[in-house]
Every structure is written in C-alpha cells, then in structure tokens.
Structure 1
Amino acid sequence: MDDLTGFQRDLLYVIAGADQPSGQDVKDEIESYYSADINHGRLYPNLDTLVNKGLVEKGQLDRRTNYYEISDQGVQAIEERREWERQYIEE
C-alpha cells in the first residue's frame, strides 16, 4: 500500500467499509469526508488504479453502473497498513 496516494488509500477504505458500492456511492462518501466536490476525472482513474493493483474488484450492476468490492489482497493491504500504523500510535 506504500505505493498508493492518500486519496487512493481513502478510496480503498471507503470501499472496504461498504457493501459493493457504486462509483457514485464511493464519490458521495469521499466528498463528505473531503468536504469538496470530487470530479469524475479524478475519481474513476484512481478507482481503476486500485482495480489494476488487485486491491479492488470491479463488477457490473447494470449496463451503466459498476460496483466495487475489496479483494482479499486489499483486505491484507489494509491489515498490514494498520499494523504498521499501530507501532506509532499505540501507547
């Protein structure tokens, strides 16, 4: 996960915490966290990067709507990241 941007990492966490969210669902959630509009030109290429790295799986809900789901590799990456963080934040 060390090769992800902070934005990509945030997308991964949002997807991990949801049940097969659509791109619009992910966009809505990330916009509420960032308190800013996220355009499609930023969102979808970063989602595609997560898919290409094997951290997220992409499927189709219908002809116009995709969903995203955390992969086993994505879950493992989050667990490893959290373990790394723990060494710095636990008392």
Structure 2
Amino acid sequence: MNDLTGFQRDLLYVIAGGEEPHGLALKEELEEYYESEVHHGRLYPNLDTLVEKGLVDKGQLDQRTNYYTLTRRGRRELEARREWENQYVDF
C-alpha cells in the first residue's frame, strides 16, 4: 500500500464503498470529492495498476462496461492502512 499514490488509495476506498462499481461511477465519485474533472487518461491506467498489483479485480458487465471489486489482499491493505491512520488520528 505504501507504494500507491494518493489517487490510487482513494480509488480503493471508493471501490470498497460501492457494490461492483463501474468506471463511470468511480469517476463521478472522485470528481465530487476532488471538485474537479477526473480524465479517463488518469482513471483507467490507475485502475489497471491496482488490478496488476492484485488489489482489485476487474469484471465485465457488458462489452463496454467493466466493474471493479477489491480482492482479499486489497481489503487487507485498506484495513492495515486504517489501523495505521488510527495511530495518528483519534477522533
């Protein structure tokens, strides 16, 4: 997880919060959070990186639409990140 960019970590959180979200849904969530446009050239290469690292699985809804889910490893990595964050931020 420590080799991911902040954008990639944010993608993991958004994927974890959805039910098999597709690329456009992820894009919309991130645009709302960042309050700026997220271009396809940024989104999809980063999703592919997460898939390559074994943190995310990519499935196909139809010929044009993919969906994304966290792998067990991806979920463990997010849990470890949350534990690490909680050491420093206690609200």
**Structure 1-normalised TM-score?**
0.97
Quote the residue 2:87 is aligned against: 87
* Amino acid paired to 1:73: R
CA distance in 2, matches of 1:87, 1:21: 30
1:42-79 deviation per Cα after TM superposition (whole angstroms, max 9, x unaligned) = 00000001100111000000000000001110100000
- Percent sequence identity over aligned pairs: 64
Give the CA RMSD over aligned residues.
0.9
How many residue pairs match? The answer is 91
DSSP-derived class of the 1:69 partner: strand
Quote the residue 1:78 is aligned against: 78
Shift of 1:90: 2.3
Shift of 1:86: 1.0
Note if 1:25 corresponds to 2:25.
yes
DSSP-derived class of the 1:90 partner: coil
Structure 2: gaps (5+ residues): none
